[in-house]
């Protein structure tokens, strides 16, 4: 015979039930936000692509195509249907993982993106690691040493990073470190003699070469990526140090910092445990945004360094009027940006109890 639940047990069960319902509602809201945002991205991408003054039929057949061939191709591509119906068909294909066929490579666009996106991901990931590792400590030290030489250095780096065009800095880097000093390898991801020596497992040449134990391939891949990653990392350092410095200056002027120092806490504990702990959550958002911008904004860097990533692929598609590849690449970049923002929102709730 079961004993009746006590009042405390009933309250605890009710609390757990409410907590579970609350998390289900939060998850449902995230899913709804994801669907709405992705649908909006899909619609904007599709309709802008259709309004661009480029005829996809002429891009396929050429300017000298006959009227019969033109009409047949237009019918085959479904361009004779109303625009709304074309959008519904395109949305259905996207949900099934079909982004069309690239006119430039004659491959499915989704296969091309699977091939080129890991190169961009590797470049952006290495850049953000360096950017966080240098930019965040530099911003903290600049705030602590306010108006001293290290603060002036951090502000100068932030000024250069926000004013100098990335393509100019990339060209100057190639001229100095590759053409003059010969410290790094030139454009491209790897020398042709090493191409195909390592099986693709993760999509990152550095990681795959380490797994395979091919140190020559690793050294060659690293010598190719170090300059473009360094260029992008410089802009990350400039942005992250500026934001970290601003956050820390605001926290160091708060009364709780004065109270902590008056209690005799060490300066290191006051800065890194209390002040930095309070900026960790908003700083996480800044880092996620910086990483998103690296994934979507490394187009010029990839062009200068002939990096075979999604930026170079998108540029080639634009120059050749390959609208399937343009729409597919834009959609993937936008979806990545949306996913990172939602992930940041989720981490915000994990690390900051006030947002729950």
pLDDT at 75: 79
CA geometry: angle 64, 69, 73, nearest 5 deg: 110
Q: Yes or no: say if 326 and 318 are a contact pair by the CB < 8 Å rule.
A: yes
> What is the pLDDT, as a whole number, of residue 1?
45
pLDDT higher than 50, residue 2? no
Q: pLDDT tens across 323-350, in order?
A: 888 888 888 888 888 888 778 777 777 7
Number of alpha carbons in the 13 Å side-chain half-sphere of residue 333: 23
With DSSP H G I counted as helix, E B as strand and the rest as coil, what are the percentages for the chain, rounded to 5? 80, 0, 20
Long-range CB contacts for residues 64-67, cutoff 8 Å, separation at least 24: none
Average pLDDT over residues 242-252: 91
Residue recorded with tokens 């393509």: 167
CA distance 78 to 75: 5
Query: What is the rounded CA–CA span in Å between residue 326 and residue 319?
Result: 10
Give the CATH number of domain 109-355: 1.10.3720.10
**Residue 143: which pLDDT band, with cuts at 50, 70 and 90?**
very high
Asked whether 82 and 50 are in contact (CB, 8 A), the reply is no
**Which among 100, 230, 237, 94 is positioned nearest to 157, based on CA atoms?**
237
Q: What is the CA radius of gyration of the chain?
A: 26
Backbone angles phi, psi at 312, to 5 degrees: -65, -40
- Is 50 in contact with 83 (CB distance < 8 Å)? yes
For the chain, give the mean pLDDT: 83
* pLDDT of 125 higher than 60: yes
Check pLDDT > 60 for residue 3. no
Mean pLDDT (whole number) for 133-147 = 92
Its sign, for the CA torsion 270, 273, 274, 280, is positive
Domain boundaries, the chain: 30-95, 109-355
Q: How much is the pLDDT for 228?
A: 93
CA quadruple 73, 76, 80, 83: dihedral sign? negative
State the pLDDT at residue 352. Answer: 64
- 313, pLDDT greater than 60: yes
Write down the pLDDT at residue 355.
59
Averaged pLDDT, 124-134: 93
pLDDT in tens, 17-30: 777 677 777 778 77
Which residue bears the tokens 């309070």? 278
Report the C-alpha gap between 309 and 121 in whole angstroms: 8
Mean pLDDT within 157-178: 89
Mean pLDDT computed over 146-169 = 89
**53-111 pLDDT per residue, tens:** 677 777 667 677 777 877 887 777 777 788 888 888 888 888 888 888 887 787 888 98
If you average pLDDT over residues 260-269, what whole number do you get?
A: 85
Mean pLDDT within 211-240: 92
Report pLDDT for 10: 67
């Amino acid at each position: 015979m079961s004993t009746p639940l006590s009042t405390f047990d009933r309250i605890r069960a009710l609390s757990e039930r409410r907590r579970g319902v609350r998390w289900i509602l939060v998850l449902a809201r995230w899913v709804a936000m994801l669907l709405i945002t992705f649908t909006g991205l899909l619609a904007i991408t599709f309709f802008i692509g259709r309004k661009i003054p480029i005829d996809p039929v002429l891009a396929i057949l050429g300017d000298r195509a006959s009227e019969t061939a033109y009409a047949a191709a237009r019918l085959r591509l479904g361009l004779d249907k109303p625009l709304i119906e074309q959008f519904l068909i395109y949305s259905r294909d996207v949900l099934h993982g079909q982004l069309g066929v690239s006119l430039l490579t004659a491959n499915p666009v989704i296969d091309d993106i699977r091939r080129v996106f890991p190169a961009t991901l590797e470049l952006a990931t290495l850049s953000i690691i360096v950017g966080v590792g240098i930019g965040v400590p530099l911003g903290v030290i600049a705030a602590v040493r306010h108006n001293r030489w290290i603060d002036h250095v951090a502000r100068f780096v932030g000024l250069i990073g926000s004013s100098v065009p990335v393509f100019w800095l990339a060209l100057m880097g190639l001229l100095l470190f590759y053409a003059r000093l010969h410290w790094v390898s030139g454009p491209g991801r790897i020398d042709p003699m090493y191409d195909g020596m390592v099986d693709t497992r993760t999509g990152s040449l550095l990681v795959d070469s380490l797994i395979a134990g091919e140190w020559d391939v690793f050294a060659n891949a690293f010598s190719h990526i170090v300059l473009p990653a360094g260029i992008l990392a410089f802009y990350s350092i400039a942005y992250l140090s500026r934001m970290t410095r601003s956050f820390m200056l605001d926290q160091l002027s708060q009364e709780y910092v004065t109270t902590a120092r008056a209690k005799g806490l060490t300066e290191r504990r006051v800065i890194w445990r209390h002040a930095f702990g309070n900026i960790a959550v908003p700083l996480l958002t800044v880092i996620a945004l910086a990483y998103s911008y690296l994934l979507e904004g490394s187009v010029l860097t990839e062009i200068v360094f002939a990096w075979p990533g999604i930026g170079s692929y998108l540029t080639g598609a634009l120059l050749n009027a390959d609208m399937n590849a343009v729409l597919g690449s834009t959609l993937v970049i936008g979806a990545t940006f949306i996913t990172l923002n939602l992930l940041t929102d989720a981490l915000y709730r994990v690390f900051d109890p006030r947002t729950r």
